[in-house]
């Protein structure tokens, strides 16, 4: 394991988001999921694409995820929904040797914390070629179906693995998901790659570091092995 630059040497646990974070947002992979969500809602509500889009985004902004809103308002089964919307090809995602090398050299435990489900997340991690580098995959079911930025999932992850938030870093492309991490005491790293759907700035108090690419960032914070 390599050492990290001084500003990160207190970190013993690294928590990474998955979608648009461990792979480039430019792949458009989440667009495929977005399309399947819309189609699912059209079938569920017997409505047109315009109404389905309105419902989808309304639930996302009000509840944190489209799924949370569909469960609350329409009694949707989460396993059925997640299996359906994640049934996408992964040919847009390629192995990332730089990311894999950086994660392998990064000292400490590594976790994935995603609002997706574990079967989909594992497929993506394998497609990127980094699945073996993570201690645990904390998905939406592990968070009791309470999606980020609900603080509940963060607390469950920390309790399950005895993570001291003051010695943890969270890496995430959705700035709003860093606010509860910061409130718990974590070091926060915002992946500002164009995927952010809110109006967030790097100078907000809950963002410690702003980066554009995780692999590039890991290269920059890892020091040469002695």
The per-residue pLDDT for range 29-40, each reduced to its tens digit, is 989 999 999 999
Instruction: 151-156: list long-range contacts, CB under 8 Å, 24+ apart.
Output: 151/180, 151/183, 151/184, 153/113, 154/113, 154/180, 154/181, 154/184, 155/184
Whether the pLDDT of residue 64 is over 80: the answer is no
- Say if residue 60's pLDDT is above 90: no
CA distance 171 to 113: 10
Listed in sequence order, the residues at least 6 apart from 91 whose beta carbon sits closer than 8 Å to its beta carbon are none
Structure tokens at 153: 């999932």
Average pLDDT over residues 117-141: 96
**% of the chain with per-residue pLDDT over 90:** 86
Q: Please say if the pLDDT value at position 195 is more than 80.
A: no
pLDDT of residue 194: 78
For the domain bounded by 29-85, which CATH number is listed?
Answer: 1.10.150.450
**Mean pLDDT confidence for 33-48:** 96
Q: Give the pLDDT band of residue 216 (cuts 50, 70, 90).
A: very high
Q: How far apart are CA 20 and CA 18, in angstroms?
A: 6
Contact 30, 24 (CB under 8 A): no
The share of the chain scoring above pLDDT 70, in percent, equals 95
Q: What is the mean pLDDT of residues 94-120?
A: 97
pLDDT surpassing 70 at residue 203: no
Mean local confidence (pLDDT), 88-105: 96
How high is the pLDDT of residue 196?
A: 66
- Match 């430019």 to its residue by tokens: 26
Over residues 71-77, mean pLDDT: 94
Strand order of the sheet with strand 168-172?
A: 136-138, 109-113, 13-16, 168-172, 187-191, 209-211
Chain region(s) in the chain for CATH 1.10.150.450: 29-85
CATH topology of domain 6-25+94-221: Rossmann fold (3.40.50)
Is 205 a residue whose pLDDT tops 60?
Answer: yes
Please give the Cα distance from 153 to 155 (Å, whole number). 5
What does pLDDT average to over the chain? 93
Q: CATH 3.40.50.1000 spans which residues of the chain?
A: 6-25+94-221
Q: How many CB atoms lie within 10 A of CB 210?
A: 15
Distance CA 143, CA 179 (A): 17
pLDDT at 61 over 80: yes
pLDDT tens digits along 137-187? 999 999 999 999 999 999 999 999 999 999 999 999 999 899 999 999 999
What pLDDT does 197 receive? Answer: 56
């Amino acid at each position: 394991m390599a050492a990290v630059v001084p500003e990160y040497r207190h970190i013993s646990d690294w928590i990474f988001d998955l979608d648009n974070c461990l792979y480039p947002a430019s792949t458009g992979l989440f667009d495929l999921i977005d399309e399947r969500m819309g189609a699912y809602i059209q079938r569920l509500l017997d409505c047109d694409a315009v109404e389905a889009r309105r419902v989808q985004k309304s639930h996302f902004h009000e509840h944190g995820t489209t799924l949370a809103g569909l469960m609350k308002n329409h009694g949707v089964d989460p396993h059925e929904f997640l299996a359906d919307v994640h049934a996408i090809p992964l040919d847009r995602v390629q192995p990332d040797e730089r990311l894999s090398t950086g994660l392998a050299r990064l000292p400490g435990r590594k976790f994935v914390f995603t609002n997706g489900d574990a079967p989909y997340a594992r497929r993506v991690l394998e497609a990127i070629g980094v699945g073996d580098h993570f201690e645990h995959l904390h998905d939406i079911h592990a968070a009791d179906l309470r999606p980020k930025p609900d603080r509940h999932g963060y607390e469950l992850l920390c309790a399950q693995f005895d993570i001291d938030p003051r010695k943890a870093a969270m890496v995430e492309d959705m700035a709003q998901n860093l606010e509860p991490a910061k409130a718990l005491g974590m070091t926060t790293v915002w992946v500002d790659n164009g995927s952010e759907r809110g109006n967030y700035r790097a100078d907000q108090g809950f963002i410690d570091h702003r980066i554009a690419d995780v692999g590039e960032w890991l290269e920059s914070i890892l020091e040469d092995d002695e």
